[in-house]
């Protein structure tokens, strides 16, 4: 079975930085897209950034220029470098992996990011 493990969340002051990591393990194809989503209290889960197996990225407008998604040397890993953090970035951040060949999607359990003002 597929498991996604996120790490790197924590408490940071506004303007600070955090780097989130995600590693997918199990029976998963290397031909996949990975992404980061977040969910703040009382709000729906939203896309933060995605990256394809080829490195093509998509960002939500609110994080452009501040966040960078990347893949590790292992295709089943992804990172989210977050800089210039704002209190409105506070949320639980979830890693997602989607296998392109069959469309199966898997989610991590989430990691809390809290940005204080």
Q: What is the pLDDT of residue 10?
A: 97
Q: What is the pLDDT of residue 74?
A: 78
Which tokens go with 24?
Answer: 């997918």
Q: What is the pLDDT of residue 29?
A: 84
Q: What is the pLDDT of residue 40?
A: 97
Sites in the chain below the pLDDT cut of 70: none
Q: What is the pLDDT of residue 83?
A: 98
- 80 burial level (CB within 10 Å; 0-12, 13-18, 19+): buried
* φ, ψ of residue 12 in degrees (nearest 5): -145, 150
* Short-list 71, 65, 108, 101, CA closest to 85: 65
Tens of pLDDT, residue by residue over 14-47, are: 999 999 999 999 988 888 999 999 999 999 999 9
Contact 73, 42 (CB under 8 A): no
């Amino acid at each position: 079975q597929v498991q996604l493990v996120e790490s790197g969340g924590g408490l940071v002051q506004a303007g600070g930085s955090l780097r989130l990591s995600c590693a997918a393990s199990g029976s998963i194809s290397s031909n996949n897209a990975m992404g980061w989503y977040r969910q703040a209290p009382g709000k729906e889960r939203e896309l933060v950034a995605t990256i394809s197996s080829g490195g093509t990225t998509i960002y939500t407008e609110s994080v452009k220029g501040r966040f960078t998604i990347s893949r590790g040397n292992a295709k089943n890993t992804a990172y989210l470098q977050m800089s210039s953090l704002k209190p409105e970035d506070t949320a639980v951040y979830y890693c997602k992996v989607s296998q392109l060949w069959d469309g199966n999607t898997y989610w991590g359990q989430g990691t809390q990011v809290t940005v204080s003002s």
